Structure 1
Amino acid sequence: MTERERFRFDVHATDGAARTGTIHMKRGDIRTPAFMPVGTAGTVKAMMPENVRATGADILLGNTYHLMLRPTPERVDRLGGLHKFMNWDRPILTDSGGFQVMSLAELRKMSEEGVTFQSHLDGSKILLTPERSMEIQRLLGSDIVMCFDECTPFPATYEQTRSSMELSMRWAKRSRDGFNSGEAHAARSALFGIVQGGVYEDLRFQSIDALTDIGFDGYAVGGLAVGEGQEEMFRVLDFTMPKMPKHTPRYLMGVGKPDDIVGAVERGIDMFDCVLPTRSGRTGQAFTPYGPINMKNARHKDDPRPIVEGCACAACTSYSRAYVHHLIRAGEILGAMLLTWHNLQFYQDMMAGLRAAISEGRLTEHANRFRADYVRGDIEPI
């Protein structure tokens, strides 16, 4: 199998720093800029796989940490791999587990070898290393594998950030070696490195240099969307993106809010993931071109309109705001299902709009109109 058949990234058009393209993989093409719905434990919550695909999603994200604990990667492997297990035949990206382990705080212990932590399920002690992370992702059958890193918390001092970044770079080399050792899986999948360095310009540059020396199929920007705010995130992207490799995909991990995504696309990011559209769907929030709305609010109880006029999701084509409001207030599962479907459709429509604007050389106009509309607020019926 040739490198070209395994993984290829083609840029089709650019507009400023933004670009649109296609990631070619054996299980299908991924149109960029792309938003990846999050399927943490082998499912996009409240959605059937075929419905996720119908929204326009080309790729899903799975979670190494959660799948490692339950049902275990060995069991998934015996059952034919994650694609078969969850009935998704297109690409899957799996994160390395580093972010989830960071969030365990006092339940984890860092060392050069890896991270020892207590399972949130049964309290058992588990050691996660770069090599084990690569093995888990191989057993799952991931198409895009993320190297194992420490997600540097915010805020952190310069010295704390430097130490964390340098550890992540040593782990990146071990991840590369561990990935290569699984020859059959490496021959049909891709490995992405993760740029760390917090909010410090020189540390981000050192991280990029270290990763490009190792060599990866794509490069992610990690350690953002962890509390620093949009202005600071964009500042970091402004100095980081010009230094990133230009002929590989660039992935901003864990982002995010619609206006965050638009701003990051303008700065040259190709891939995104976030739990926000699905989590919001389960808590009664719907995304619209005029900002998010709370479907629990009484103002929707007599509203015969769809959530968004012209939206192709099941919630908007078949039901009224009044009905969705009723479902949410009554605690019916269908309410969460319909809102999740709608939110994922909104995100995929947003990405399609960005791709079209880049292709036609009108991204600035499109992005400015999107932002102006988004802060306008949803208008009540007359």
Structure 2
Amino acid sequence: MSLAYAFDVKARDGKARLGEITFARGAVRTPAFMPVGTAGTVKAMFPETVRQTGADIVLGNTYHLMLRPGAERVAELGGLHRFMNWPRPILTDSGGFQVMSLSSLRELTEDGVTFRSHLDGSEHHLTPERSVEIQRLLGADITMQLDECVALPCPDEEAERAMLLSRRWAERSKAAFGSDPARALFGIVQGGTVEALRVRSAEGLQDIGFDGYAVGGLAVGEPQDVMLATLDVTVPVLPEDRPRYLMGVGTPEDMLLSVMRGIDMFDCVMPTRAGRHGQAYTRFGRINLRNARHAADPRPLDAESDCPAARDYSRAYLHHLVKAGEILGAMLLTWINVHYYQSLMAGIRQAIGEGRLPDFAAQTQAEWARGDIPPRP
């Protein structure tokens, strides 16, 4: 395999694309869901199990790894891939989401953002240049520019201010990244839900030139129809020959509908977080294992699943583990959820390749709507 980063669109079905991103560490089949490994681990999962679900790439986080154990230490230990025993591609988020999520612990200036650590109160200054440096030390295959993500809804003036700051930071991130044919740098489109701002942001980033383009600042408080309408405006402005990444999304339906609008990549904490809280994602929709109706149910979650956790353990046992607070419950349900997300992506990819994505989408949505039918008493 070539050492150079490349993206190839292999098939289209409407606006949806079947593609492949290649790196020295392996190929990423798109549309792709990236399990979130914020601190160098996909919570409650072994790396080899993550791979067995079908994941080609995982996500790490600049802010959290900067605080603990530190980027320089990870580099000394051989990089994030070796550190977390994940030899395949890794994308690292730049810390921009924490600008929003940790707004009470940071100070924002033109130069960058100063965080007060949520761990010990120590101060850490993160600039576009330092964010790129940290991601290089970690060994990221995909580096994200530092940006400012704002919560929605927000005034148009605030969305414009953050978008323009993010574009200036994009220029600095590109200059700091330089040229590296083996790795990729993605720019991030901002602009809230203001159509004109989204278009300006997307066009401005293309003038700078990136290996891929992310749509940031969505799934942060807006309804689904507003998110989709924003994608309808933004995606057509993005170049055809670069991957398109919708950050922080989302539910299975969010991803399915976004793929149909031309999105190639996703990440979200939802499947792992839900697993730790007794929730399972299946082809029947989301199932709450805390509900008493599962207490004496001998059926597995899905007898036809090729995920052992969904196929080989009874609902009664999963209910017991969740109610008892046993770690195994979180492990099994997280495995089920990540597997389902990867199975959904695999089904989407196959449907695009066969030119039947609308039928696949309709059938999948019908199964979700029908739900999990309880056994007869």
TM-score range, shorter chain: over 0.9
2:311 equivalent in structure 1: 317
- Tell me whether 1:303 sits opposite 2:301 in the alignment: no
Q: Is the 1:109–1:115 contact (alpha carbons within 8 Å) kept by the matching residues of 2?
A: yes
Structure 1 residues 113-154: Cα deviation after superposition (integer angstroms, max 9, x where no partner): 001121101111211100000010000000000001001221
- Tell me whether 1:378 sits opposite 2:372 in the alignment: yes
- Tell me whether 1:104 sits opposite 2:98 in the alignment: no
Aligned residues: 376
2:159 equivalent in structure 1: 161
Q: What pairs up with 1:215-294 in 2 under 5 angstroms? A: 215-294=209-288
1:66 to 61, 64, 67: 64
- Shift of residue 243 of structure 1? 0.9
**Matches of 1:187 and 1:365 in 2, distance apart?**
39
1:202 to 196, 201, 219: 196
Q: Is the 1:201–1:239 contact (alpha carbons within 8 Å) kept by the matching residues of 2?
A: yes
**Matches of 1:233 and 1:359 in 2, distance apart?**
26
**Matches of 1:142 and 1:209 in 2, distance apart?**
26
1:328 equivalent in structure 2: 322
1:81 equivalent in structure 2: 79
Tell me the amino acid that sits aligned with residue 109 of structure 1.
E
- Shift of residue 157 of structure 1? 1.3
**Matches of 2:215 and 2:21 in 1, distance apart?**
18
Tell me the amino acid that sits aligned with residue 55 of structure 1.
T
Instruction: State the percentage of identical aligned residues.
Output: 63
**Matches of 1:92 and 1:243 in 2, distance apart?**
26
**Matches of 1:5 and 1:205 in 2, distance apart?**
33
1:356 equivalent in structure 2: 350
Q: Which runs of 4+ in 1 moved over 3 A?
A: none
**Matches of 1:104 and 1:39 in 2, distance apart?**
18
Q: Is the 1:118–1:125 contact (alpha carbons within 8 Å) kept by the matching residues of 2?
A: yes
Tell me the amino acid that sits aligned with residue 122 of structure 1.
D
1:369 to 363, 370, 374: 363
**Matches of 2:326 and 2:115 in 1, distance apart?**
37
**Tell me, what secondary structure is at the counterpart of 1:106?**
helix
Q: Is the 2:5–2:181 contact (alpha carbons within 8 Å) kept by the matching residues of 1?
A: no
**Gapped runs of 5+ residues in structure 2?**
none
Tell me the amino acid that sits aligned with residue 343 of structure 2.
D
Q: Is the 2:59–2:92 contact (alpha carbons within 8 Å) kept by the matching residues of 1?
A: yes
Q: Is the 1:152–1:165 contact (alpha carbons within 8 Å) kept by the matching residues of 2?
A: no
Between 107-116 and 267-276, the greater mean CA deviation after superposition: 107-116
- Tell me whether 1:134 sits opposite 2:139 in the alignment: no
Structure 1 residues 170-190: Cα deviation after superposition (integer angstroms, max 9, x where no partner): 00000001111xx6xx34211
**Tell me, what secondary structure is at the counterpart of 1:5?**
coil
Report the TM-score when normalising by structure 2. Answer: 0.98
Q: Is the 2:301–2:311 contact (alpha carbons within 8 Å) kept by the matching residues of 1?
A: no
Tell me the amino acid that sits aligned with residue 194 of structure 1.
I
- Shift of residue 235 of structure 1? 0.5
**Matches of 1:374 and 1:210 in 2, distance apart?**
39
- Shift of residue 42 of structure 1? 0.4
Tell me the amino acid that sits aligned with residue 205 of structure 2.
L
- Shift of residue 318 of structure 1? 2.4
- Shift of residue 112 of structure 1? 0.6
- Tell me whether 1:343 sits opposite 2:332 in the alignment: no
Structure 1 vs Structure 2 CA RMSD: 1.2
1:191 equivalent in structure 2: 185
**Matches of 2:76 and 2:257 in 1, distance apart?**
42
**Matches of 1:187 and 1:289 in 2, distance apart?**
40
**Matches of 2:34 and 2:135 in 1, distance apart?**
17
- Shift of residue 314 of structure 1? 2.5
Structure 1 residues 273-318: Cα deviation after superposition (integer angstroms, max 9, x where no partner): 0000000000000011121011111111222211112212221232
**Matches of 1:188 and 1:361 in 2, distance apart?**
32
**Tell me, what secondary structure is at the counterpart of 1:120?**
coil
Between 142-151 and 322-331, the greater mean CA deviation after superposition: 322-331
Tell me the amino acid that sits aligned with residue 194 of structure 2.
Y
Tell me the amino acid that sits aligned with residue 32 of structure 2.
A
1:173 equivalent in structure 2: 171
Q: Is the 2:302–2:311 contact (alpha carbons within 8 Å) kept by the matching residues of 1?
A: no
**Matches of 1:375 and 1:63 in 2, distance apart?**
35
**Matches of 1:171 and 1:372 in 2, distance apart?**
44
Tell me the amino acid that sits aligned with residue 51 of structure 1.
T
- Shift of residue 335 of structure 1? 0.7
**Matches of 2:294 and 2:157 in 1, distance apart?**
51
**Matches of 1:155 and 1:117 in 2, distance apart?**
24
- Shift of residue 110 of structure 1? 1.0
- Shift of residue 232 of structure 1? 0.2
**Matches of 1:161 and 1:328 in 2, distance apart?**
41
